[in-house]
Amino acid sequence: MSGALRWLAPIWPVALADLRERSRGRGFVLALLLCGALAGLVLRGDMMLAVGGYRGAHNAAWVGAQMALVFNTMMSLFGYFLIKGGVQRDARSGMDQILGSTGLGALRYMLGKWLSHLLLLLSMLLVMLAMAVLQQFLPPAGLAQVAMAGPWQAATALLGPFLVLSLPLLMLLAALSLVFESLPWMRGALGNGVVVLLLGVLMSQAVLRSERGAAEPLGISVLVPDMRAALLSQVPQEKLPGYTLGSGFTSATQLRQQGVFQWNGMAWTARQVLTQWAFVLPAAGLLGLAACFHAAYVARGRRMPAAEPLAELAEAEPRGAGRLRQVLRLPPGLRRFGPLLWAELRLLLRQPRWWQAGALALMVAGALLTGARAQHDLLLASLAWAALMLAPAGGRAPAHDAGALLGSSACGGRSQRLALFAAGVLLCLALCGGAGLAMLAAGRWELLLATAAACLFLPALLISLGAWSGGPHLGESVAMLWLLLGWQGLTPLDPLLSGAPVYAGLALLAWAAGELMPRRRLEQAWA
């Protein structure tokens, strides 16, 4: 074996071990199901691409481009939350220190993790690709299938957007997640908040750069100008047609009334392919940066003082033992539930100063801003701020293997979940409290009740998703997707516009979904 192959050989076992560990969890299956549901929305025509209000004829080129752009957009916003956690899991178990003491090295370790993240994202891409092939033969109602010149041309037009546009983006996302995971202080809520802002900026810049035809990682600037040119050649009366990608902007009936235009796909040039694949270079730079951060972290871990001898620990009185005995011996009823609720509140509020300052700013701004739109946006921001704290609480027990311990205690798993739910509701109400006082003073009872229903729904959703997935990442991504689409004007997903009864009922359904798990799985999944 040559020197290069010998150096690369340990990378695949690291990636395979991490991928097997991830695929055993329920979160992996649920992530694939979410991708299937997203592709199903495209399949039904509920989420679509339109240029100037027109959609393309239903052929392989349009189906592949539409599915690839929807996938790229969703992954750029929420893919980070679906793949993060591999490095953090090794840090909790101490495996990173063990691997750091071998000859593996930080760079090969990070390459293995990057390959694992990429394979995880590729599995989601394969789901979307399979649904795109299925959509070829199942056009939306009222839109006939248009055959292309031949099977080779159809296959090239269908696969081209995925190979040229999606693959480089997934490589970039996999490397970006490792940078944040390699910094211990960026693994929690701070990193999540920074990533949300960073990906939001990436999304807005992609839209702006696509209008100028400049390169951007989503591929909008590659496909949309070519579609626009095809539309103008067939409908010359259209002047500078824009594009829409998503749901809720128009109905399939309206699109059929306006008509369709023929787009036969991209005639890919070497420059276009190289421009998109050039985003692999920043991915390589981010990967090297993550390796440097991880090497420094492992070196700090080696310099930590040695642990105390076990004999001394056995002789010492455990800290807080009196409190623990007191909690376990509490009488039943409210006197037992009260300390549980107080403990959950303390855990939720044990946050860095920057989070506390942000929460205080949201409460003060909510009391001062009285405009309807400003209050609406501020309430959604407050719910997103609360979700950053509640989602990690949802996956707390699997992370610390505390479900069996709590399930065998006098408190029981259900009491613990109820206490966490009540603490989450109180946290959401507190963050929305400033705006709530302003709404109360203005007599906006309908919005006030809708806010209260959203404060019930968010903790129930995150608790249920945490129970089923065994971790916080699925809850983070779903909550952020829900709030972002609601903020963008999709009324059914806007908790403040849908009405209090709708989201109060959804809160009950979300809680019931978590309770449907078998008792043993619940006790193992929840603290």
Give residue-wise pLDDT tens across range 186-237.
Answer: 776 667 777 777 777 777 777 777 777 677 888 888 888 888 888 888 887 7
Q: Is 440 or 144 the better-scoring residue by pLDDT?
A: 440
Cα distance between the two ends of the chain? 49
- The angle formed by the CA atoms of residues 50, 51 and 54, to the nearest 5 degrees, is 70
- What count of other Cβ atoms lies within 10 Å of the Cβ of residue 208? 12
Q: Is 388 or 67 the better-scoring residue by pLDDT?
A: 67
Beta bridge partners of 50: 244
Which pLDDT band, with edges at 50, 70 and 90, does 324 fall under? very low
Query: Which pLDDT does position 291 carry in this prediction?
Result: 86
When the pLDDT of each residue in the chain is averaged and rounded to a whole number, the result is 76
Reference 344, options 302, 378, 394; nearest CA is: 394
The percent of residues above 90 in pLDDT, for the chain, comes to: 6
Which pLDDT band, with edges at 50, 70 and 90, does 326 fall under? very low
Q: What is the reported pTM?
A: 0.66
Which pLDDT band, with edges at 50, 70 and 90, does 140 fall under? low
Cα(278)–Cα(282) distance, integer angstroms: 8
- What count of other Cβ atoms lies within 10 Å of the Cβ of residue 250? 14
Which pLDDT band, with edges at 50, 70 and 90, does 169 fall under? very high
Query: Which pLDDT does position 162 carry in this prediction?
Result: 92
Query: Which pLDDT does position 527 carry in this prediction?
Result: 45
Cα(76)–Cα(219) distance, integer angstroms: 11
Say yes or no to pLDDT of 328 above 50: no
Give residue-wise pLDDT tens across range 351-383.
Answer: 766 677 778 888 888 877 777 777 888 888 888
Q: What are phi and psi of 58, to 5 degrees?
A: -80, 85
- What count of other Cβ atoms lies within 10 Å of the Cβ of residue 471? 25
Handedness of CA 11, 17, 18, 23 (dihedral sign): positive
Which pLDDT band, with edges at 50, 70 and 90, does 151 fall under? confident
Say yes or no to pLDDT of 507 above 50: yes
What's the farthest any 2 CA atoms get from each other in the chain?
A: 87
- Give SS3 for 137: helix
Residue count of the chain: 527
Strands (E), 442-498: none
Query: Which pLDDT does position 172 carry in this prediction?
Result: 92
Alpha-carbon torsion angle 98, 103, 107, 113, nearest 10: -50
H or E segment and range at residue 203: helix 189-212
Give residue-wise pLDDT tens across range 8-40.
Answer: 888 888 888 888 888 776 677 777 888 888 887
Which pLDDT band, with edges at 50, 70 and 90, does 321 fall under? very low
Give residue-wise pLDDT tens across range 393-449.
Answer: 766 655 555 555 555 555 556 677 788 888 889 988 888 888 888 888 788 888 888
Which pLDDT band, with edges at 50, 70 and 90, does 304 fall under? very low
Query: Which pLDDT does position 312 carry in this prediction?
Result: 44
Among 106-115, 242-251, 339-348, the least confident range:
242-251
